[in-house]
Amino acid sequence: MAPALTPEQASVIKSTVPVLAAYGETITTKFYHDLLAANPALKNIFNNTHQATGHQPRALAGALYAYAANIDDLGKLSPAVELICHKHASLYVKPEHYEVVGTHLLETMKSVLGEAATPEIMGAWGAAYWQLADIMIAKEAKMYDETSYWADWQDFKIARKEKEAGDITSFYLEPVDQKLKLPKFKPGQYISVNIFVEELEGGVWQARQYSLSDAPGKDYLRISVKREEGLEIGEPKSMTHPGYLSNILHDKKNEGDIVRVSHPFGDFFFEGQKEDSPVVLISAGVGLTCLTSILNTLAEEKSTRPISWIHGAHNSSSRAFKSHIDELAESNKNLNTVFFSSQPTKGEVQGQHYDVQGRLDLDKVSSEKLFVDSDKTQYFVCGPTQFMLDVEAKLKSFGVPSERVKVELFGTGGVPRI
């Protein structure tokens, strides 16, 4: 445990905010380059795509800036720290990784800033880094303790592949070790899937997070993965695309194949199933996966609370789980559904294949289905980043306070809404 940051050191950190604004990304870009060159084993943890596109350095630069700017009120960073710790836990980040990262980060800051990196500044940043690292190490240790029987990657077999839409396929994953106890995860959470990518130089393990798309309590874990069209396995430009691993799953992984899987984690989840407050589930595209887990959980528990399912897709061919949702609505009169189609194809019938033509727009959903008059309604939103932020803003304009709107940001990187 590092010594507490002194008030004087906190003041020094605050004074470096303009420096981080000007040189933050330069620092983090060099940091990652030098770190991975000196520690190639860490390539198995860091996302190759985010390195190649510069997403990871930008995200870290934003995090450093936010940390410095809020050093005297770290409570504002709690949601971001929670999100990052769940991500770290799903990748099995350990305390020794913080030691290596801290050493290289401070060395890089000193190298880039040159004479401006005075002993006073470097001492303050060393103390600040370990203050945050200790918080995260402790939080992650608690997460690992809660999953002590599943302390590392586990081998899972692809028991079944099932196409849900033109570009979305469900993978039913069963543990190879039949003694492994599957957790009662919280609906909305995700797992990391770890795959060896031989096409990357030297061969590298790469992990991606995928939301669990069914209710807990099964003898399998189900993920439903969108394939990004136009990517070619092994083609250099494709290897830097965010959807590269999804294409490996679709094209190269078949029933019977083995993938490595993490314990479920994630700070976006639904709980309180026994309550009676309304629940509104709003998604676009493949963002429906985590919300399907929530909906299936409520349906299996025969919840009578009012529920609305609002989903936007291009058309029927790209909309997953439509028949399943329709069946649930037929047998659960408390479930309302509204389907938007932005590009319905010839032959699609309004009222059958979709309800509203156009992009998802909450102004076109009745207030009765949004339950905005209730001060207990819970809203869960998942989809592309800008979609989620737009929906959140729209709900706020309806008078819904932010604490009743949960937005799934695990895949967006960076520090959300500081």
Whole-number Å distance between alpha carbons of 136 and 266: 15
Task: Assess whether pLDDT exceeds 70 at residue 414.
Answer: no
Task: Assess whether pLDDT exceeds 50 at residue 141.
Answer: yes
- Contact by Cβ (8 Å): 66, 415: yes
Q: Render pLDDT for 190-229 as a digit per residue (tens, 0 to 9).
A: 999 999 999 888 899 999 999 999 999 999 999 999 998 8
Q: What is the model's pLDDT at position 48?
A: 87
Per-domain residue ranges for the chain? 7-147, 154-265, 279-408
pLDDT band at 415 (very low <50, low <70, confident <90, very high): very low
Task: Assess whether pLDDT exceeds 90 at residue 281.
Answer: yes
CATH superfamily, domain at 7-147: Globins (1.10.490.10)
- Contact by Cβ (8 Å): 262, 207: yes
User: Is 198 assigned a catalytic role?
Assistant: no
- Contact by Cβ (8 Å): 369, 338: yes
pTM over 0.85: yes
Q: What is the model's pLDDT at position 418?
A: 45
User: Is 98 assigned a catalytic role?
Assistant: yes
Q: Render pLDDT for 353-371 as a digit per residue (tens, 0 to 9).
A: 999 999 999 999 999 999 9
Fold topology of 154-265: Elongation Factor Tu (Ef-tu); domain 3 (2.40.30)
- Catalytic option among 32, 92, 98, 190: 98
* The two structure tokens encoding residue 367: 């207030």
The answer to whether 154-265 and 279-408 have equal CATH topology is no
Name 413's Cβ contacts closer than 8 Å, sequence gap at least 6: 50, 55, 56, 59
Which overall architecture, per CATH, does domain 279-408 show? 3-Layer(aba) Sandwich (3.40)
- Catalytic option among 140, 164, 392, 408: 140
